[in-house]
Amino acid sequence: MITEVITFKLRPGMTREDVVAVYRTTAPIWRANPECIRKCYLYDGERRLGGGAYLWKNIEAAKKAHGEAWRTMISPSSTSRRR
């Protein structure tokens, strides 16, 4: 197993409620991914960051789920970090 923590800058003007609404729309996608054991959503209003902490079956699953297309989808100007 591997743990992955990703953060990204929130779009200007997004409220906590906006972020939670987006998270609710994506939750079924992650639940349907058999390689994702668990996902916890992250929100830091003071630093204007969103993100997720993931537990994957292996590193290949993490790389597949969070490739270039995913990074572009979350925000063209986002900054993501893998740990």
Q: What is the CATH classification number for the domain harbouring 16?
A: 3.30.70.100
Amino acid at 2: I
Does residue 82 lie in a domain region? no
CA 77 to chain centre: 15
Q: For position 72, what pLDDT does the model report?
A: 76
Does residue 24 lie in a domain region? yes
Does the model's pTM come out above 0.95? no
Does residue 38 lie in a domain region? yes
Decide: 1 and 37 in contact? Cβ < 8 Å. Answer: yes
| Cα(20)–Cα(33) distance, integer angstroms | 20
Domain range spanning residue 45?
A: 2-74
Each residue of 6-53: pLDDT tens digit?
Answer: 999 999 999 999 999 999 999 999 999 999 999 999 999 999 999 999
- Provide the 3-class DSSP secondary structure of residue 33: coil
**Number of domains comprising the chain:** 1
Q: How confident is the model at residue 71 (pLDDT cuts 50, 70, 90)?
A: confident
Does residue 79 lie in a domain region? no
Does residue 29 lie in a domain region? yes
Q: For position 73, what pLDDT does the model report?
A: 72
